[in-house]
Amino acid sequence: MKQPIGVIDSGVGGLTVASELVRQLPKESIIYLGDTKRCPYGPRPKEEVIQYTWEMVHFLLERDIKMLVIACNTATAFTLDQLREELAIPVVGVIQPGARAAITHSRTAEIGVIGTDGTINSKAYVDTLRQINTDIEVHDLACPRFVPLVEKGIVQGEKAYQVVRETLQPLKQFSNMDTLILGCTHYPMIKALIQEEIGSTVTVISSGEETAREVSTILEYQNKLYQGEQAPQHYFYTTGDVGVFHEIASRWLNQKIDAVDKIELNTVKKA
């Protein structure tokens, strides 16, 4: 199937997921839509997040995507179930793949989760982990200072490390915790610092990597992987500033981005 995989996010964070899709599924084409203008979704009311997400979904459905990836933790928490129910194409979110990978890796069944205030307060990771295994002990921690750091491009050096060190302090008491989920799509950009601070005995799970893996699983399972010889084509859309998006996308995807288009999202009915 030559149709592209659609990826939606509240802004640029989901590019870490897109970047893993490009790496793990190099034959597949991607359409990415970041609602940068209305980013972040985290602090918004649930109904608003649902409305904005449906607007993005409608935009991509008109471009004939074969699968939808919700590359945003907040939007996943609020819309995954209804999107799966109402769309005819497969829908994958970012929470379940990270949770499942943590269960696969953990031998102590004591798992850490870090994310934005919104994601941690939603308890979406705790619920997903416990849905699969009621005996899992979860240590979750909101890290509100990480996203601003990454968005400013401060992803290495003493200042970044200091923020990481101070923020992760509460997790260091759990000596039996052997796995830590990066429950925010921005965090892979500072994964090296997080790994250094949390220690080499803890496996750090990047939800982008794991989401791409599960996209591959479901496409193959549904016999929808692209099998032809044509080179992939990627399209990027933003509701915000094209220049800023283009610069971040080129850096994060570590490749030249041909075109980023600015679009307006239409106010649409939910279903």
Shortest Å distance, C-beta 101 to its own copies: 7
- Annotation-wise, does 186 bind a ligand? yes
Window 67-96: residues binding its own copies (CB under 8 A): 84, 90, 92, 96
Element (H, E) at 87: none
Name which of 156 and 221 has its Cβ closer to its own copies. 221
Q: Specify whether 184 is catalytic.
A: yes
Query: How many C-beta atoms surround the C-beta of residue 124 within 10 A?
Result: 25
Q: What are phi and psi of 132, to 5 degrees?
A: -85, -40
Shortest Å distance, C-beta 119 to its own copies: 19
- Annotation-wise, does 250 bind a ligand? no
Give the long-range contacts of residues 121-124, CB within 8 A, separation 24 or more: 122/74, 122/77, 124/73, 124/76, 124/77, 124/95
Provide the sign of the torsion angle of the four alpha carbons 242, 247, 252, 253, taken in this order.
positive
Alpha carbon 68 to its chain's center: 12
250 binds its own copies (CB under 8 A): no
Q: Specify whether 143 is catalytic.
A: no
Can you tell me the distance from the alpha carbon of 169 to that of 166, in angstroms, rounded to the nearest whole number? 5
135 binds its own copies (CB under 8 A): yes
Can you tell me the distance from the alpha carbon of 126 to that of 44, in angstroms, rounded to the nearest whole number? 21
Name which of 11 and 98 has its Cβ closer to its own copies. 98
Residues 192-231 as x/- pattern, contact with its own copies by CB under 8 A:
-----------------xx-xxx-xxx-xx-x-x-x----
Contacts to its own copies by CB under 8 A? 24-27, 84, 90, 92, 96-97, 100-101, 103-104, 131-135, 209-210, 212-214, 216-218, 220-221, 223, 225, 227
Active-site residues, by number, are 72, 184
Annotation: binding site: 9-10, 41-42, 73-74, 185-186
